[in-house]
Structure 1
């Protein structure tokens, strides 16, 4: 009897430890749940729409730049062709006038050796001059035609990208509408927002692909160089309230190092909707990111039940839950 009681006393702590171990192992998975609100499907749709819009915009801008350069080339080629037109007409008239006389006939008509040599020199110089004039004129005409054709191709490229922009905007609106949001909202915009230092782009204006390669100054995780630039620029602009970027979650940009949550409160995330000075701080910060979206590579901004995307502007964001889920206690920033 005593031995049995002893075994039970020893077994109870072991069982408790085993149960505690199960809870500890399960706890990290529970912590992975995304407190941002919305669904993975919604976030994936918004990311696709925003990225598609930004990529199409970069291609559209690059095409317009090329078109401008081609128009300069066309203008110069047309001016060259016009300038040489008179010289070509003189060459053509001379060819018509002396076309029937051979070079040998012209030389045989010379009355003296000196005249013969003089005619040889003049014929050679005339041939060289006429050859250069005709070659330059032909080159100008060919350049004009090539530039006109290239401009037509660029116009076609621009029409293609404009179509993509319209489609991506519709995709974003449908994604937000599917969860009960998406109506046009007042938004947070300020012409007084300071300008940020631009993040690096590729030579064609597109955004380089980046991964989580730099230390996150707000956590022990990592973020992308582009997000680090956005974070540093915001702090330089005076937005120094508590911020957290990298976190382990089941979805979203935080585990990819492409998102930060900027608390409206100076020291922590409060489980209440921001008001007073904290609300004004969040309004200014959201407006700052929107104004500098093209400089920082902003994919979207969420603040106070509204979401800003580059192809829709501010729209209602109908996530449900507490202040974190509806983004009334922090500004969410996602970058490409």
Structure 2
């Protein structure tokens, strides 16, 4: 079985107990790009499909959650402004009510008859009309502000409900991803570093979700194609200083390479993939893996595999081992990146 799709190794291992009993995997080639001609002979896309579905669902739920939190902050500001206006109007209305209680209601007829001249009569008539109009406006504003306040409070309640729903979705997808990865081993510490640059965000839909993309742009590492998002992730990594050998598109197989949504980043300074990384090569791979994890949301990362460990946005780092136990299938000579 070719190791050109290194993730296929973990799929065979994870599903062996339940869906691949009795199947025997052929040895992997020395490089992820090698082709033994039996691509997918013992592979089953079930786990790959589960991880893709759970990661996309988790990522979309997180995008909706983040958008809801942002909208909630905007609604909160609007509500605070409305309530400040409401307090001011209520204070004015209360002052009018107190004055009317103390002095009694103003008799329009008495006020007009008390005028000493025609000019005074007209002036008082205009003032009375202006006061009545002002009071009507205050009451109208008070009514509108109370309606706005109620609507904004309901909108805030709706956002809280949306967030709770997305949290539940994310938690469910996390459980599904962890279940799929359980046979590979439990959670691991993984590779994390805060002292890494932020990538430029990949384009998203208006609701924060990632648009579906096809293998539509030229792959600069092969004669094949990759998706615009995969190209963006590779270029961002290279701009951050990760410029060693990369191989992306593969023409066959059931997983991300032939879809243009995966790249293998060698950790050695020369072309190719070589043996188990150590020293500076290991540090390079660990730092690159941490870079992709830190920028997973910005780049639309589906999963990262490095040095017998796999990371997904929903489940985090988990232990991992390839079927053949060689550097390519164990991912001890390269970092594998799959993009949604």
TM-score normalized with structure 1 length: 0.83
User: 1:33 is matched with which residue?
Assistant: 39
User: 2:257 is matched with which residue?
Assistant: 254
Aligned match of 1:315 in 293, 296, 318?
A: 318
Deviation at 1:38, TM superposition (A): 6.8
Kept after mapping to 1: 8 A contact 2:224/2:251: no
Pairing 1:158-173 to 2, within 5 Å after superposition: 158-173=163-178
Kept after mapping to 1: 8 A contact 2:321/2:329: no
Kept after mapping to 2: 8 A contact 1:32/1:250: no
Pairing 1:176-191 to 2, within 5 Å after superposition: 176-177=181-182, 180-191=183-194
Deviation at 1:268, TM superposition (A): 3.6
Query: For 1:80-102, what per-residue CA distance to the aligned partner results, in whole angstroms no more than 9, with x for missing partners?
Result: 11111121123445677338x5x
Deviation at 1:254, TM superposition (A): 1.2
Cα distance in 2 for partners of 1:48, 1:320 equals 24
Correspondence 1:98 to 2:98: no
Pairing 1:152-301 to 2, within 5 Å after superposition: 152-177=157-182, 180-270=183-273, 272-301=275-304
User: 1:127 is matched with which residue?
Assistant: 132
Aligned match of 1:329 in 319, 324, 333?
A: 333
Aligned match of 1:76 in 81, 104, 111?
A: 81
Cα distance in 1 for partners of 2:270, 2:251 equals 22
Kept after mapping to 2: 8 A contact 1:32/1:249: no
Q: Which secondary structure state, in structure 2, belongs to the residue aligned with residue 208 of structure 1?
A: coil
Structure 1 segments unaligned to the other structure (5+ residues): 1-28
- Name the one with the larger helix percent: 1
Q: Give the paired residue count.
A: 303
Q: Structure 1 stretch 250-259 or stretch 206-215: which is displaced more?
A: 206-215
Q: Which secondary structure state, in structure 1, belongs to the residue aligned with residue 184 of structure 2?
A: coil
Q: Which secondary structure state, in structure 1, belongs to the residue aligned with residue 263 of structure 2?
A: strand
TM-score normalized with structure 2 length: 0.82
Structure 2 segments unaligned to the other structure (5+ residues): 1-34
Cα distance in 2 for partners of 1:324, 1:40 equals 20
User: 2:47 is matched with which residue?
Assistant: 42
Deviation at 1:175, TM superposition (A): 0.4
Q: Structure 1 stretch 240-249 or stretch 300-309: which is displaced more?
A: 240-249
Q: Which secondary structure state, in structure 1, belongs to the residue aligned with residue 298 of structure 2?
A: helix
Cα distance in 2 for partners of 1:247, 1:215 equals 13
Kept after mapping to 2: 8 A contact 1:38/1:319: no
